Amino acid sequence: MCGIAGRILNAPGQVGRDLVALMDAQEHRGADSTGFAVYGTPMDQGYVLRGMGFDKAQMDSDLELFRATLKEHGSDLMSDPQIVQDAARHYCFRMEISDPRDLQQWVSDADELSGRIEVQSCGRSLEIIKDIGGAEQVSEKHKVHDMIGTHGLGHARLATESSVLPNASHPFWARPFSDVAIVHNGQITDYFTQRDRLRRQGYRFLTENDSELIAVWVSDQMKQGLTMEQALKKSITSIDGVFTFMIATPDGIGFAKDRFAMKPLVVIEQAGELAAATEEQAVRRVFVDESDVINHDGPSLFGIWGVGNRSMAA
């Protein structure tokens, strides 16, 4: 049992604060870890990179090795790394980097450092923050309350399978596409079959979490030329299990459910803004006017919402 949430604002605002409220209200659904994907003001050049290292004693040498992979691909740091120790005594870092010659190839090479350093997101506007503990605890350590943006996702996890450590927590980045993130509530029953197929195609999995499969699966569909909307629709009949997942790009948020629509998603829309969550009492933390129209989403298996006048495409 997990809790998921999404939030869209009309203009850049306190989306971090709202996501923390949405997840705090659902902490009973999963207090092992909490994560956020926040879409801030896009960078004209360069990327915001979030990651974690697994051995704080080796942090300096690991970060130097990581920087060397950037330089090999024509990139470098644009700012000093900001470093926070996470609840598992690993370290989390945030840095801004200049454009690599080939982002996808750099991500592939950087993934070879898995076990020492893991890239959790790399985007013009996307930042993924995740750690052990509840929403307020994670927010206090990583300053999620203070993050400004137009939209984002949240997740509260109960670790029913794979590790409880932050790298196995949600959201997951649809690597190597720079600004695509997913959160998921449910279970993928054909996980091993799908994972083995994708591994044979050359995809790398960094965790044993079945939710990472969705991010990799979506990335694979996009590489084949599908739009985000097409990938969402295809997932309904291509992935087996009981699930609801939400996916975000710089242009908006979408969701997909399994064909039986077993997992809930409550949606409130008002004046072009939106809040969605697993439970109604969570969205009431953001929209408290009783005149708001609540869409419990019923049997609907698919939905997509753009930010402002943008259409959601990737």
Enumerate the active-site residues: 2
Q: Which amino acid is residue 76, in one-letter code?
A: D
Whether the CB-CB separation of 86 and 57 falls below 8 Å is answered with: no
Whether the CB-CB separation of 185 and 226 falls below 8 Å is answered with: no
What's the rounded Cα separation, in Å, for the pair 286 and 131? 23
99 CB neighbour count, 10 Å cutoff? 16
Backbone angles phi, psi at 83, to 5 degrees: -125, 135
What's the rounded Cα separation, in Å, for the pair 219 and 7? 23
Whether the CB-CB separation of 303 and 254 falls below 8 Å is answered with: yes
